[in-house]
Structure 1
Amino acid sequence: MSTTTLCWAVFEANGEYRGVVERAEAWLAKRAGGVSPEQLAPAIIRRYGKDRTFSVPILTHCALAGKVGWDRVLQLPFELAAFPQSWFAAMRLPVVSYALPALIAIGQARHAHRPTWNPLARLFRAAARNKTLSALQNIQPSNGGFLEATPLTSFVTMSLAGSGMAEHAVVGKGVEFLKGSVRKDGSWPIDTNLATWVTTLAVNSLGGSVDDLLSEKEREQIRDWLLGQQYRNVHPYTNAAPGGWAWTDLPGGVPDADDTPGALLALKNLGGDCTDAARMSVGWLLDLQNRDGGMPTFCRGWTNLPFDRSSPDLTAHAMRAWQAWRGELPDLRPRMDAAYSKAARYLANCDGEHGWVPLWFGNQHAGDEANWTYGTARVAEALNEQAQLELPGGAMRQRAARNCLLGLQGKDGGWGGFKNGPVSVEETALAVGALKGVDDGESRKSIEEGTEWLVCRVESGEWLEAAPIGFYFAKLWYFEKLYPMIFTVGAMERVAGKE
């Protein structure tokens, strides 16, 4: 619904695009009941629930295009951005922690086009206008792209430009970012690149074969490149402490609790003296852990909205990173052990009917868009470790993950994101790799069938076909062409017994 609404809004109803508009309106009529503001706006809001991070930007986009009135755009409290960042979690903002630019720009657009009737609120917002614009300018990356994300940068840029601020510096840098990131075919990627993320995934997929497949010089080059991506200063965007990694090597990245464990595991696999960087990074993860024992993506304590809460796949990733470096960081060992046990208890308490649901991955074929296979496979990787098995209830948690993965396998030997769902290379490879960590009598047949399924796809060339399992900001789907290759290599590495 999101992408269709965004595309529909930019086309005129008459002229050469009339057919495009009519087909889009017919599709939206089936999903939303119609395209009138009274029908479309509530449907967009329902799509995102109480999280206003992208329902409001999408409606702002429609309002700027003249498709809905500004009365249908909820006012975001941009004036709150004038307060210190340390207050944001306590204020329970209606947007997620990484959406501060949208809060400011779209909130100002709504205020400019339809200010509140409340004289005190109007006065307060007018007084906060320049200060919040300065805050927005201060957190804009040097290349203009907020989070390196085309959607977020576009929403910010159009909101300011459509509110009489087309000459503002933020708009100028945003336009330059968008002009510079357009592809030759006229499209834009959802994010500029995932260079750090896919590099660590690739290194970690090689497992015990890293030394055989990469020369010492190659390992050193990758290690130095990764070390160069670690944040050594407080991040202006999220106020994150030094020590973490983002998904990209570009200025718009923000350190997070999935890329940081991935980097820690990759550095461990690559070898070399990385102890100082690891100490800083492990401490960063320990400080990020939520009270419930789980790991959030960017900021501790932002539990108001789903994309800010603890996530089982991120928590499992952190557990593996802590365990990998435990022996080399004796000064942090007591904290790591306490955090590890707390994280295991969190995982024990957050499983569902078919296992664990991840945060940043999904399956568009599922009614609830949940990808049980991805989430459960990632959690199983942590539950399979000896340290976890030695905890109270550890073996029981491992069996639960194993049983869930066995139950999700399709009749042809492959896995989809849910029971009887369409199978994919990515989901099958992750399930095979996770089950190989158990490799008992009950899982052996499934491993063999899954491996055979993957081998057939490799031989036919189908293993290069990527599935859109990535679940991005605004519930937008994406695929990454390296995922099927990396995950397949990782599964085969484990099946070959070199992990």
Structure 2
Amino acid sequence: MAFDDQLAGALEETLDRMTDTLLAGRNAAGHWEGKLSSSALSTATAVIALTLQSREQAASDPTAGGLSASDSRVGGQAAPGSQSGGLAPSGSRAGGLAAPDSRADGQTAPGPLATAGVDWLIQTQLDDGGWGDTTDSPANVSTTALCWAAVTIAGAGRPGADAALDRVRAWMTRAAGSLEPPALAQTIRLRYGKDRTFSVPILTVLALAGLLDDDSPRHGWRHVPQLPFELAAVPAALYRWLRLPVVSYALPALIAIGLVRHRQRPTRNPVARLVRRIVRTPTLYRLALLQPSSGGFLEATPLTSFVVMSLVAAGETSHPVVAPGIAFLERSARADGSWPIDTNLATWVTTLGVNALSRRSGWRERLPDEERQLLIRWLLDQHHRAYHVYTAAEPGGWAWTDLPGGVPDADDTPGALLALHALSGPNPAPESLDAACAGVDWLLNLQNRDGGIPTFCRGWGALPFDRSSPDLTAHTIRAWNAWRPALPAALAERVERATPRAVHYLEQSQQPDGSWIPLWFGNQQAPDDANPVYGTARVLEGLASLDDDAAPHATEFRAASWLAAARSPDGGWGGAPGVAPSIEETAVALGALSTWSQRARTSSLDHTASLDDTDSPDSTSSVARAGSLDSTTLSAIDTSIEAGVRWLIEATDHGQRVPATPIGLYFARLWYSEALYPRVFTLAALASAAHHARTESRGSSRVSPSPEA
């Protein structure tokens, strides 16, 4: 396949512009931070937490403007300063809160940040009366319920608040059938099924706002399931056996929300009530241990807000977690009154940027050695070299951010390994090789029994973020294969044993139509909010990283054919067939097809093998390779590649315009967009397509005859 001169020229022009713009987008330290979209859900939770804390503080001490964190204790013990961090010095105001004013109705008026947040929510309410996760998202019941609660709690007297409440009540009536508490509670529970990670926090917020009240406020709490916060008192090593009703990252919410539910509506079971009374102090102490020095759990506004508001409502306003949590929320507020879902994804977007640049021909000339060394140093500094108290993760992984609230995970660790490999070249420095060995080992130890890779913890449970995921598994395969030649013999042997198991998991998790469903990305217009285009593209790239001397197996053929057929008639890809195209999804599909097609053409295409019935998933022969790649199939893929290149060049106006689309899925299916995603995905895709075209123009393909020939 070769592009005509006009397309080839437009491609190089776009690549040059995208490369220059990406390099210019680094910060003063030499890496990328990106910019996350503002979130109505985050804004609502922050508004509620700030308002409830200021009111409770004013009620307990009308002369105090905030919490004196130095006087806080957990069960009579000083908080562990090394982890709970960010505590205000003695006599200072926590988080800089000014003395609250009183409204005419006797309630303490929200502070300026909460007021600005309410105003932003009112201004961004959708025409149908609901709210979506981003300003480019359709309304959903979770975010709308939280915004309803926020305007109810903090919006009195604000311009447009009454009209906003009328519209949201109408929206919720349509969504739930009525505003009766049982109907609201059932609607929220049905959205999340057995996973209580997000349904219980939302119901807690509705109860705090009085929106679940029947004949008395206490009765409203009967619609909020009791989370077993007492289980947080057991050793972390036992969590995988407890089958917790929340995922591994949500332990702070389990503790805080469990406590407020117990405080507001304690169980009638005397034994359970006694146990919860006994473990209250140790679980609160554990909560303080989990809080990072920044004050923000996972650097996430929603999780931190849920913890703060729950502690306040549980009578723990003076708990040492509250003050740094409030300070974190204040620092995270944006000038327009909104909050993002997280502070930043600096490590993730930096590795995406490096890995995109590394696909470009001659990229090292554009990123001189001094700048590459700066990036290597920064990535090494983000390497987690100690046991992580939050998820009990062993040393060796990378998190999504350079901030202290980040937790090592199985998407950012492969991304960091691939970036470190690209930056280091064929002769990595000893420190880089040591870090790579630790990262590879960390991923090997994370592999589940089914061969797949979960997000945070091996075998914690069956909830989404704790079970194996195709996109994470494929990303891990790429990282393992990139570093395998440089690894010590024993570690390389472990990789060789683990890879067939990972591939077997991918074979088993492939959908009947040939696609895969990813965990961390979705599409708001696709069925079930899934994004099979993203998932299939990422898995196809992972499989393409396997040894070049082995032909693609039948699983890959089916995936590549599905991905090519999923293209829209205009040349782009959406998250699923028939869904409107986006820059991000077109880019990942184009990049995967270009990378895989090149590997497929240069492999031994006449090689076939079948999986013998006696083969086990651990044997290398289980990576079954079968099928033949004919010229008709390759021609269809080439057509898709060229169409995708043309679509991206036009959609980005030759790299001058790269609007972001909300395809990212944060915890608990919270949509977000990241300004760098369309830029790095497009650069990676066009660079891969250009490399593929150059390779094909040199006549390197080996193609079996078409059956019709």
| Pairing 1:382–2:542 present | yes
User: 1:14 offset after TM fit, Å?
Assistant: 7.0
Contact 1:303 1:309 survives alignment (8 Å): yes
Distance 1:141 1:52 in 2: 24
Give secondary structure in 2 for the equivalent of 1:230: coil
Aligned to 2:412: 259
TM-score (norm 1): 0.97
1:442-461 matches, cutoff 5 A = 442-459=636-653
1:82-161 matches, cutoff 5 A = 82-161=233-312
Which of 184, 195, 203 pairs up with 2:354? 203
Which amino acid counterpart does residue 158 of structure 1 have in structure 2? M
User: 1:334 offset after TM fit, Å?
Assistant: 1.2
Which amino acid counterpart does residue 187 of structure 1 have in structure 2? S
Aligned to 2:459: 301
Distance 1:383 1:235 in 2: 31
Contact 1:389 1:395 survives alignment (8 Å): no
Q: 1:96-123: CA deviations, max 9, x gaps?
A: 0110000000000000000000000000
Which of 211, 217, 236 pairs up with 1:67? 211
User: 1:308 offset after TM fit, Å?
Assistant: 1.2
Which of 427, 433, 445 pairs up with 2:591? 433
User: 1:162 offset after TM fit, Å?
Assistant: 1.1
Larger gyration radius, structure 1 or structure 2: 2
Identity, % of aligned positions: 55
Which of 557, 562, 575 pairs up with 1:404? 562
Distance 1:388 1:400 in 2: 19
Aligned to 2:491: 332
Give secondary structure in 1 for the equivalent of 2:547: helix
Which of 400, 403, 406 pairs up with 1:250? 403
Distance 2:465 2:178 in 1: 29
Which amino acid counterpart does residue 41 of structure 1 have in structure 2? A
Q: 1:290-318: CA deviations, max 9, x gaps?
A: 00000000000023212211000000000
Q: 1:214-249: CA deviations, max 9, x gaps?
A: 000010000000000000100010110000000000
Aligned to 1:9: 149
Aligned to 2:525: 365
Q: 1:304-355: CA deviations, max 9, x gaps?
A: 2122110000000000000000000023111101111100000000011350
Distance 2:501 2:434 in 1: 25
Distance 2:655 2:142 in 1: 33
Distance 1:211 1:460 in 2: 23
Aligned to 1:475: 669
Q: 1:124-158: CA deviations, max 9, x gaps?
A: 00000000000000010001100000000000000
Distance 2:330 2:546 in 1: 50
User: 1:164 offset after TM fit, Å?
Assistant: 0.9
Which amino acid counterpart does residue 32 of structure 1 have in structure 2? A
Structure 1: give runs of 5+ residues left out of the alignment. Answer: none
Give secondary structure in 1 for the equivalent of 2:293: coil
Contact 1:454 1:463 survives alignment (8 Å): no
Contact 1:197 1:262 survives alignment (8 Å): yes
Contact 1:32 1:43 survives alignment (8 Å): yes
Contact 2:247 2:461 survives alignment (8 Å): no
Which of 26, 37, 52 pairs up with 2:170? 26
Q: 1:405-425: CA deviations, max 9, x gaps?
A: 112110100000011101100
Distance 1:295 1:389 in 2: 26
User: 1:462 offset after TM fit, Å?
Assistant: 7.2
Which amino acid counterpart does residue 497 of structure 1 have in structure 2? H
TM-score (norm 2): 0.69
Distance 2:156 2:306 in 1: 25
Which amino acid counterpart does residue 483 of structure 2 have in structure 1? W
| Pairing 1:183–2:334 present | yes
Change (3 A) 1:446 1:139: same
Contact 1:79 1:124 survives alignment (8 Å): yes
Which of 224, 232, 236 pairs up with 1:81? 232
Change (3 A) 1:471 1:389: farther
User: 1:463 offset after TM fit, Å?
Assistant: 4.4
| Pairing 1:230–2:373 present | no
User: 1:173 offset after TM fit, Å?
Assistant: 1.1
Between 1:359-368 and 1:76-85, the stretch displaced more is 359-368
Distance 2:183 2:548 in 1: 50
Aligned to 1:50: 194
Aligned to 2:516: 356
Aligned to 2:445: 287
User: 1:460 offset after TM fit, Å?
Assistant: 6.2
Structure 2: give runs of 5+ residues left out of the alignment. Answer: 1-140, 213-219, 598-633, 696-709
Distance 1:431 1:367 in 2: 19
Contact 1:425 1:463 survives alignment (8 Å): no
Give secondary structure in 1 for the equivalent of 2:452: coil
Give secondary structure in 2 for the equivalent of 1:307: helix
Distance 1:478 1:321 in 2: 26
Q: 1:197-227: CA deviations, max 9, x gaps?
A: 0000010011244312200001000000000
Which amino acid counterpart does residue 239 of structure 1 have in structure 2? A
Distance 2:352 2:542 in 1: 16
Give secondary structure in 2 for the equivalent of 1:477: strand
Distance 2:666 2:367 in 1: 32
Which amino acid counterpart does residue 293 of structure 2 have in structure 1? S
User: 1:24 offset after TM fit, Å?
Assistant: 1.1
Distance 2:202 2:643 in 1: 44
Distance 1:279 1:305 in 2: 29
Contact 2:541 2:596 survives alignment (8 Å): no
Q: 1:150-197: CA deviations, max 9, x gaps?
A: 000000000001111111111111101001110111111101000000
Give secondary structure in 2 for the equivalent of 1:433: helix
Between 1:276-285 and 1:397-406, the stretch displaced more is 397-406
Distance 1:171 1:389 in 2: 58
Which amino acid counterpart does residue 275 of structure 1 have in structure 2? L
Contact 1:389 1:398 survives alignment (8 Å): no
Distance 2:656 2:163 in 1: 35
